[in-house]
Amino acid sequence: MPRQVNLNHMKQKIRLLTLFSAVAVFAAQALAQSKECNDEFKTATYGKWYDNRKDHQEVAYQAAKEYLATCPTDDSPYSTALKKFATAYDAMTADANLGKQFEEAFKNKKYAEQVRIGKLVVTSNPDSPAVYIIMGVAGLGDATVLADSGQYAKKAIEMIEAGKPFAPYESKDKALAALNYTIGKANLKNTPGDALPYLIKATRYESDLKKSPATYLDIVTAYEKGPRAKLTEDYELKYKGKPETPESKLAAANIDQIIDREIDAYARLAALVTNAADKKAIMDELTELYKYRNKSDAGLSELLQNVLSKPLPDVPTPITAPPAPTPTPSPVPKNIIGQPGIRQSRQTIARYQ
């Protein structure tokens, strides 16, 4: 036979549970309100903050947060001072965390992270040359951030040239070489003509880039796809298939001096590459270009022997006056975009980049 439920006993249990719940809620509220915003609390908490604000800032910060939480409507000078301290401490802590994250990104060669976190760092600390330098060369390690990196490289160069430190590089020359090279690389694809001054400047400093085949391959590429392509296109639109004139000779002379700069950079590339197969591929194309410009290979050997002992020439200034007449005028240039060029060497020495 089933047991009968004692309703009175059940009601008593419910009343007890309800009472215990009410007591628990009251106790929680009492704990939350145990610290009243009174003069005693204000004096003690402000004093705790004041005594620790210099040597034990974490303790001072906790006191300030406790004061502000307990007395949220207080607008006294005490509260103002504590709010100012807490805000500054929060900013300092955030900066410290960002700094640690940036150091980790640099240490682990996470180039995209260097740029992402570095942007946040310089927002609050704009006078950070090391951060700008690291962001300014990050694009050499990760092409996806090359555009941003090029912009930060310009700022880093300004700071170094104004006397700021060049760390993490061991010398000013190495820092400026890498930063200029980054800007050149950032422009190489879309505006190769703009890349040339930076690529050339990178070779003027004492750094590994001065003896790197990749540097001169980039310079050859910039000449070929930049001013040489533009001048050749203009020549063909205006003068192709027409009798030679002083204007067409002037246009041809400007193309010729660009090709001369290509040959010079190409010779440096050939002189620096040591792998036999790569050197042959480069020499084949250099010889073709040299013969195209000079109608023979006479003088090429001497150029290769001496080219590294001479400074890399600047981008040539456009010729504005027609060249003097010669007994055997140069033939009208054919379309030289991509021929002869650097077709094979781009592939064979890709590992030098």
Q: Is residue 240 part of a domain?
A: yes
Q: Please tell me the distance from the alpha carbon of residue 198 to that of residue 85, in angstroms, as a whole number.
A: 46
Distance CA 327, CA 330 (A): 10
Q: 18 in a domain, yes or no?
A: no
The mean pLDDT value for 33-56 works out to 83
**Boundaries of domain holding 255:** 212-352
Q: What is the phi-psi region of residue 112: left when phi exceeds 0, alpha when psi lies from -120 to 50, beta otherwise?
A: alpha
Secondary structure of residue 73 in the 3-state scheme: coil
Q: Which residue has the higher pLDDT, 348 or 234?
A: 234
Smallest Cα–Cα separation from 228: which of 117, 111, 339? 339
What are phi and psi for residue 127, nearest 5 degrees? -90, 65
Average pLDDT over residues 38-51: 87
Classify burial at 325, counting beta carbons within 10 Å of its beta carbon; exposed 0-12, middle 13-18, buried 19 or more: exposed
Mean pLDDT, all residues of the chain: 84
**For position 328, what pLDDT does the model report?**
53
Position 34 scores a pLDDT of 56
Residue 345, judged by CB atoms within 10 A of its CB (0-12, 13-18, 19+), counts as: buried
Length of the chain as a residue count: 353
- Distance between CA 1 and CA 297 in Å, rounded? 120
204-to-154, 160, 181, 199 alpha-carbon distances in Å: 17, 16, 11, 9
Percent of the chain with pLDDT over 70: 79
Q: Which two three-digit tokens encode residue 59?
A: 């303790």
What is the pTM (predicted TM-score) of this model?
Answer: 0.72
Q: Dump pLDDT digits (tens) for 271-326.
A: 999 999 999 999 999 999 999 999 999 999 999 999 999 999 999 999 998 766 65
User: Is the sign of the CA dihedral 258, 233, 188, 340 positive or negative?
Assistant: negative
In a domain, 173, yes or no: no
Q: Enter the DSSP assignment of 243.
A: -
Domain assignment present for 150: no
Q: What pLDDT shows up at residue 6?
A: 43
The distance in angstroms from the start CA to the end CA of the chain is: 93
Higher pLDDT, 21 or 227: 227
Of 15-29, 189-203, 244-258, 318-332, give the lowest mean pLDDT range. 15-29
Contact 114, 135 (CB under 8 A): yes
The pair of three-digit structure tokens given for residue 15, joined into one six-digit string: 């009343």
CA–CA separation, 182 and 135 (whole Å) = 10
- Using pLDDT thresholds of 50, 70 and 90, give the confidence band for residue 56: confident
Please tell me which residue, 26 or 256, carries the higher pLDDT value. 256
Mean pLDDT, to the nearest integer, of 216-243? 96
Best mean pLDDT range from 60-64, 69-73, 299-303: 299-303
Q: What is the pLDDT of residue 94?
A: 61
pLDDT higher than 50, residue 234: yes
Residue among 261, 288, 266, 292 at smallest CA distance from 279: 266
Tell me if 29 is assigned to some domain: no
Task: Count CB-CB contacts under 10 A for residue 283.
Answer: 19
Q: Tell me how many domains the chain contains.
A: 1
